[in-house]
Chain A
Amino acid sequence: MSRAIYRSMLWLHPAAFRDRFAAEMLWLYDETVATEGAAALLADGFASLVRQWLTRRLTWKLAAAVIGGMLQVGLVLALSRDVHSGRARASAAALFTAQPATSIDPRALPAARIAMENAVPDSQAKAKAASPRAVPVSTIPVGDAPLGFAVLFGIVFVYACQRRRFQLGVRSNSPAARHLSRNEAGEMHTAKPKSRLSIIAD
Chain B
Amino acid sequence: MKAHAFLPLSRATLYILLALAGEDRHGYGIMQEVARHSGGQYKLGPGTLYDNLQKLAEQGVVAETSVRSANDDPRRRYYRLTGLGRSVLAAEIARLEAVVREARRHLPMARPERAI
Give A contacts to B, CB under 8 Å.
Answer: 17, 20-21, 23-25, 27-29, 31-32, 36, 40-41, 43-49, 51-52, 56, 166-169, 171-173, 176-177, 179-184, 189, 191, 198, 201-202
With A168-B6, A171-B10 in contact, is A27–B75 under 8 Å at CB?
yes
- Kindly provide the distance from the CB of A104 to the nearest chain B CB, expressed in whole angstroms: 57
With known contacts A172-B10, A183-B91, A184-B94, A21–B28 Cβ distance under 8 A: no
Check B50–A21 contact: CB distance below 8 A.
yes
Known contacts A45-B46, A47-B48, A181-B95; decide if A24 and B8 are in contact (CB<8 Å).
no
Produce 1/0 per residue, B68-98, CB < 8 A to A: 0000010111000000000000010011001
Task: Determine whether the beta carbon of B46 is less than 8 Å from that of A171.
Answer: no
Cβ of A194 to closest chain B Cβ, rounded Å: 9
Residue among A17, A44, A45 with most chain B CB within 10 A? A44
Enumerate chain B residues within 8 angstroms of A40, measured Cβ to Cβ.
Answer: 45
State the Cβ distance, A168 to closest chain B Cβ, in Å: 5
A47 to B48 Cα, complex, angstroms: 8
B22 interface hit (Cβ, 8 Å): no
**At the interface, yes or no: B36 with Cβ under 8 Å from chain A?**
no
Q: Does B63 contact A (CB under 8 A)?
A: no
Query: Closest approach, in angstroms, between the C-beta of B34 and any C-beta of chain A?
Result: 12
Q: 12 additional contacts, CB 8 Å, given A171-B9, A177-B99?
A: A23-B75, A24-B75, A25-B50, A28-B27, A45-B46, A47-B45, A47-B48, A167-B59, A168-B6, A181-B95, A182-B95, A183-B95
Partner of A36, one of B43, B53, B94: B43
Q: Would you give the shortest CB distance from A6 to chain B, in whole angstroms? A: 9
Q: Which of A45, A52, A173, A182 contacts B45 (CB 8 A)?
A: A45
- Contacts of B6 on A, CB cut-off 8 Å? 168-169, 171
- List chain A residues, Cβ under 8 A from B31: 28, 32
Contact B102 A56 (CB under 8 A): no
B22 to chain A, nearest CB (A): 20
The answer for the CA separation of A184 and B98 in the assembled complex, in Å, is: 8
In the complex, what distance in Å separates the CA atom of A201 from the CA atom of B52?
Answer: 8
CB contacts under 8 Å to A, within B1-27, are: 1, 4-13, 26-27
